[in-house]
Amino acid sequence: MGAPIDRSQPLEPITDLLANGVGYGGVDRMLRTVRKYLGMDVAFVAHFRETDRVFEHVDTDGPAPVEPGTALPLEVGYCAKVVRGELPQLIPDTSRVPAAMAIPLTATIPIGSHLGVPIVMDNGEVYGTLCCFSYQPDVTLGDRDMKMMQAFAEVLANRISEMQEAEKGKAQLADRVRDAMAAGAPRMVYQPVYRLRTGEVAGLECLSRFDAEPYQSPDKWFAMAYEVGLGQELELRAIGKSLAALGRFRGDVFLGINSSPSLICTGELASVLEGAELRRIVLEITEHAIVADYDSLACALQPLRARGLRLAIDDAGAGYASMRHIVNLQPDQIKLDMSLTRNIDSDHSRRSLAKALIAFGRDIGSIICAEGVETAAELEMLRSLGVEKAQGFYLSRPLSLEEAVRVRPVDVPVAATA
């Protein structure tokens, strides 16, 4: 193993880790720091199950005797014997411990020195072990090193407890999402989008509603679903329900459906849209959606747009991301966010930004639609600025399907179409 390691002073990274705790991603960093400090060849965290142990984290400079995820029977190796007291936690030289020499792995790996401590949870349950070993004996190992290993085992136990609680909470959230879907969620409502020049209904945006606890906004339901791995399933349910209503509306009326970029890139959306009359679909991507790869997203959209699908960027003006979406995706429609349309008749700054977006949209061939219109004055100002379409509570609240199919142009206030 070379010259003895100088462990007369603790390394700063070790004291930092002990002081600040260990995040799940920091376990590997912790193992490396401890292993290097002790001058050992391999360090690992093993989790005990009913009949075996799983090597959850492994650190070494060269080829490892085991890989992360490897499972071995509990009775094979040192771990269970250390926990039961059949082997000492500190073994500077395995050749001097008959019980260690009786273990076949001692010779086959080989293991010359070994430190192992149990990871004990608050309830007294043994989660597993934190271990280091060297291929050669190391008689410089002592009680000070053992105490450091025990301190890290305590830190790991605390972090594992936090992770288990988080996983339990995540499982509860997943159950809530599944229960809501089993009860029929989401319920779809339809908000009319009007042509401001004629007052005709141009289309309807399909919006999700949730009637289950916890009573919260749809965006929080979708965020919760994505947190527990059910986001795309919930999105596909909403899109499927929206598409099922398409035949209830006139052939010149579109449906606006919302989709995340991640769902589009999986190809699942294309499967759901197979056979649909795509010229009547406007796919809306929100300003708040994170796009990791615009090229991949554009590539996934291209065959759908070639078949007539129109693309809209939602919530434009709410932040910088909307402009990136617009520049990179060249949408057919730009939807002005309600934060921009609110009080636009009396707010010069909002009006100036709206004018710029409208001019930009006209230049690239995108239709402008205003969201969140709540007053006649806002609507009239938007119309005078050149906005072609609008939606909002002043024009119509979101409607049930039966209400939506009966909406007529006369529902648009006469003042707005004069």
Which residue has 């929206």 as its token pair?
Answer: 242
Which range among 21-30, 360-369, 406-415 has the greatest average pLDDT? 360-369
Please tell me the chain's helix, strand, coil percentages from 3-state DSSP, rounded to the nearest 5: 45, 20, 35
pLDDT tens-digit series, residues 91-126? 999 999 999 999 999 999 999 999 999 999 988 999
Q: What type of residue is 272?
A: V
User: What is the Cα gyration radius of the chain?
Assistant: 31
As beta bridge partners, residue 370 has 336, 390
Nearest to 157 by CA among 205, 123, 203, 192: 123
Q: How far apart are CA 362 and CA 368, in angstroms?
A: 8
Which residue has 């799983």 as its token pair?
Answer: 54
Q: How far apart are CA 65 and CA 192, in angstroms?
A: 64
Kind plus residue range of the DSSP H or E element containing 6: none
pLDDT at 418: 38
Q: What type of residue is 158?
A: N
DSSP string, 25-70: THHHHHHHHHHHHHT-SEEEEEEE-SSEEEEEEEEESS--SS-TT-
In the chain, the N- to C-terminal Cα span, in Å, equals 90
Confidence of residue 5 (pLDDT cuts 50, 70, 90): low
pLDDT tens-digit series, residues 67-82? 999 999 999 999 999 9
Q: Is the dihedral of CA 158, 159, 160, 162 positive or negative?
A: positive
Confidence of residue 7 (pLDDT cuts 50, 70, 90): low
pLDDT above 60 (res 89): yes
**Looking at residue 259, what DSSP letter applies?**
-
Nearest to 314 by CA among 298, 334, 344, 297: 334
Confidence (pTM): 0.74
Q: How far apart are CA 217 and CA 202, in angstroms?
A: 26
Close Cβ partners of 283 (under 8 Å, ≥ 6 residues apart): 256, 257, 259, 264, 301, 304, 309, 310, 311, 312
- Pair of tokens at residue 206: 């399909």
**Looking at residue 77, what DSSP letter applies?**
S
Name the pairing type of β-strands 367-370 and 389-390. Answer: parallel
pLDDT tens-digit series, residues 241-264? 999 999 999 999 999 999 999 999
Q: Which long-range contacts (CB under 8 A, 24 or more apart) does 161-168 make?
A: 161/121, 161/122, 163/24
Which range among 5-14, 164-173, 295-304 has the greatest average pLDDT? 295-304
Q: What type of residue is 84?
A: R
Q: How far apart are CA 414 and CA 198, in angstroms?
A: 10
Confidence of residue 412 (pLDDT cuts 50, 70, 90): very low
Domain boundaries of the chain, sorted by first residue:
12-166, 183-417
Look at the domain 12-166 and name its fold: Beta-Lactamase (3.30.450)
pLDDT above 50 (res 1): no
Q: What type of residue is 30?
A: M
Q: What type of residue is 395?
A: L
CATH architecture of structural domain 183-417: Alpha-Beta Barrel (3.20)
Calculate the alpha carbon distances from 146 to 5, 94, 151, 198, 399 in Å: 15, 16, 9, 81, 68
Q: What type of residue is 183?
A: A
Q: How far apart are CA 84 and CA 100, in angstroms?
A: 14
- Pair of tokens at residue 83: 């926990």
Is cis: bond before 192, omega within 30 of 0? no
- As a whole number, mean pLDDT of residues 144-166 equals 89
User: Of the given ranges (168-177, 272-281, 319-328), which has the lowest mean pLDDT?
Assistant: 319-328
Is cis: bond before 261, omega within 30 of 0? no
What percentage of the chain exceeds 90 in pLDDT? 77
- As a whole number, mean pLDDT of residues 347-370 equals 93
- Pair of tokens at residue 5: 């390691």
Kind plus residue range of the DSSP H or E element containing 363: helix 348-364
> What ranges make up the beta strands (E) of 83-186?
90-91, 113-120, 126-134
Calculate the alpha carbon distances from 319 to 141, 260, 287, 322, 371 in Å: 58, 17, 7, 6, 15
